[in-house]
Copies of this chain bind each other. A is one copy, B any other.
Amino acid sequence: MVTMQDVAERAGVTKQTVSNVIRGRGAVSPATAARVRAAIGELGYTPNLVARSLATGATRTVGLFVPTVTGSFYPDIVEEVEDVLDANGYHLLLCTTRLDGERAKRHLAGLTSRSVDALLIAGDRDLIDHLPLLAEASFPVALCAWETDAPDRFPVVTIDYERAGYLAGRHLRELGHERVAVLASPDHGPRVAGFRRAFAADGLTVPDAAVHTASEPTPAGGFAAATAALTADPTITALFATHDVLALGALEAARAEGRSVPRDLSIVGHDDNPEVGVARPALTSVAIPKREMAREAVELLLRALTRSGSPANSIQLLRPELVVRDSTGPADGR
């Protein structure tokens, strides 16, 4: 392997002159700079990043933890993070925790050893127990896509999930719906709370019995929960699913029950995944700006890096937006 010393000898200078021309810093005469560049080209020299990292204390690598890279949520996060990183000359070290706390812990320990300049943790499932490990990390850490129990030790950039639920509720209220049910995944408390708030604003209440927890975040789980909801209270005129996949299942359930959407039943989803636009009827859903969220989170980290301080310990909430399509209509069914 060719080293900086080799280049220096070839160009007839010392190695820190070579270092200077490579980094474009310090003062080097145009003539010697040209000689150095020529030597680099002839030798095919490429600087050893590991050595540079040891000397500078920076690896220009950012770690990202996500629960998984399948599904329709996290891949966008990963790509957005990578885009921002790439634009700033950083690399991405990826860890998918896959519902495995031990694995998460192991990776966390590995990264703590200076091999990463900053760390972004997206999603709340597997890492929460091990977050204390990061308390004394020597690099900035931020959290994103965190819905519940965000530890207040780190800055977090996430969605205003409570408002997302509120938007869904307000939309149904504006359409005149009074008796409704919710299909919820276990960790979606804030969305449910926001939904209820919209009804409470009109003096209506969504009883606990109207909130049906889905056994799994799949269309099948949504189908079962929706069927349960329609059986428990056949008079409901609308359904809020805290996740689009559940809404997809609810669409099937409505069909199975012989209820036409949106005439007999309105359905609102959450996330605005690409597939909900092609569902029939196209699903009304709360869109969450996940790419913007990811971008804000990385940029926060990058800012901390250049200003070499820790980021402000704050929580930043991105605002969701309701996307109205064909699965919701007036409560009176006309």
Interface residues of A (CB under 8 A from B): 1, 44, 46-51, 53-54, 59, 61, 68-72, 75-76, 78-79, 82, 86, 91-96, 98, 103, 106-107, 109-110, 112-115, 136, 138, 219, 278
- B96 and A48 contacting across the interface, CB-CB below 8 Å: no
| Contact between chains at B59 and A70 (CB < 8 Å) | no
Chain B minimum-CB-distance residue to A71: B75
Partner of A114, one of B49, B70, B71, B278: B49
Distance between A45 CB and nearest chain B CB, rounded to angstroms = 10
Of the residues B54, B69, B98, contact of A69 by C-beta under 8 Å: B69
Q: How many copies does the complex hold?
A: 2
Question: Measured between alpha carbons, how far is A92 from B65 in the docked complex, in Å?
Answer: 11
Give complex CA distance A44, B278 in Å: 54
**Distance, CA A94 to CA B86, complexed state (A):** 11
Q: Check B219 against A278 for contact (C-beta < 8 Å).
A: yes
Q: Which residues of B contact A95 (CB under 8 A)?
A: 82, 91-92
Across the interface, which residues of B come within 8 angstroms of A86, CB to CB? 103, 106-107
Q: Once bound together, how far apart are the Cα atoms of A96 and B93, in whole Å?
A: 12
A50 proximity list for chain B (CB < 8 A) = 50, 53-54, 59, 114-115
Complex contact A94–B92 (CB within 8 A): yes
Chain B residues near A112 (CB-CB < 8 A):
46
Residues of B within 8 A of A92 (CB): 93-95
Report A259 CB to chain B, min CB distance, Å: 20
A76 adjacent to B70 (CB under 8 Å): yes
A68 and B79 contact, CB distance less than 8 A: yes
> In chain B, what residue has the closest Cβ to A248?
B278
Residues on B with beta carbons closer than 8 Å to the beta carbon of A106: 86
Contact, CB under 8 Å: A1 / B69 = no
Q: Are A82 and B96 in contact (CB under 8 A)?
A: yes
Please tell me if the beta carbons of B1 and A138 are within 8 angstroms of each other in the complex.
yes
Q: Which residues of B contact A70 (CB under 8 A)?
A: 72, 75-76, 79
- A94 contacts which of B68, B71, B94, B110 (Cβ < 8 Å)? B94
> B82 touching A94 by the CB < 8 A rule?
yes
B114 lies within 8 A of A48 (CB): yes
Taking the nearest CB of chain B, how far is it from the CB of A111, in angstroms? Answer: 8
Which chain B positions have C-beta within 8 A of A79?
68-70, 96, 98
In Å, the complex CA distance between A254 and B328 comes to 29
Chain B's nearest CB lies how many Å from the CB of A245? 12
Whole-angstrom distance between the alpha carbons of A278 and B251 in the complex?
14
CA distance A138 to B44 in the complex (A): 13
CB-based contact A113/B69 at 8 Å: no
Taking the closest CB of chain B, its distance from the CB of A120, in whole angstroms, is 13
A37 vs chain B, min Cβ distance (A)? 16
**Interfacial chain B residues near A91, Cβ < 8 Å:** 93, 95, 107, 110, 115
A59 to B93 CA separation, bound complex (whole angstroms): 12
